Amino acid sequence: MRTGNYQGFKNIEFSDSNYHLGVTGSTVLRQLKNDIIITTTICTRAAIEGGLDYDSAYQLSDYFIQASERLDSLEGLYNLLAKASYTFAPKIAESKTPWNDS
């Protein structure tokens, strides 16, 4: 994540059987929303450490956390979880690319 290498994230499949951070919610839906919040927080920290500016990192964080709260289906939440995980890395890679002035 910190290096901006996002190719590995394309092949990750997020489901309850292979992704679980521990019990953080009283229902399956709340658990998954909390997992998204945790994952987004970790990705945000890694993005900033990798060179993404604070504003961009926190805008992404706000988007994913707020989007998770609006969803009420497990499928939608798993899709959002996957999207959150592989959206940050390309942004880090873009931040490392020098602008071409010519």
pLDDT band at 93 (very low <50, low <70, confident <90, very high): confident
> How many Cβ atoms are within 10 Å of 12's Cβ, its own excluded?
12
Task: Please report which confidence band the pLDDT of residue 45 belongs to, taking 50, 70 and 90 as the band edges.
Answer: very high
User: How would residue 101 be classed by pLDDT, with cut points 50, 70 and 90?
Assistant: very low
Which two three-digit tokens encode residue 52? 């993404």
Distance CA 89, CA 92 (A): 5
Q: pLDDT (tens digit, 9 = 90+) per residue, 66-83?
A: 999 999 999 999 999 888
pLDDT digits (tens, 9 = 90+) for 2-11: 555 555 555 5
Amino acid 82: pLDDT = 85
pLDDT of residue 27: 92
Six-digit token pair at 51? 């060179």
> 6 burial class (0-12, 13-18, 19+ CB within 10 angstroms)?
middle
With beta carbons less than 8 A apart as the criterion, state whether 61 and 88 touch: no
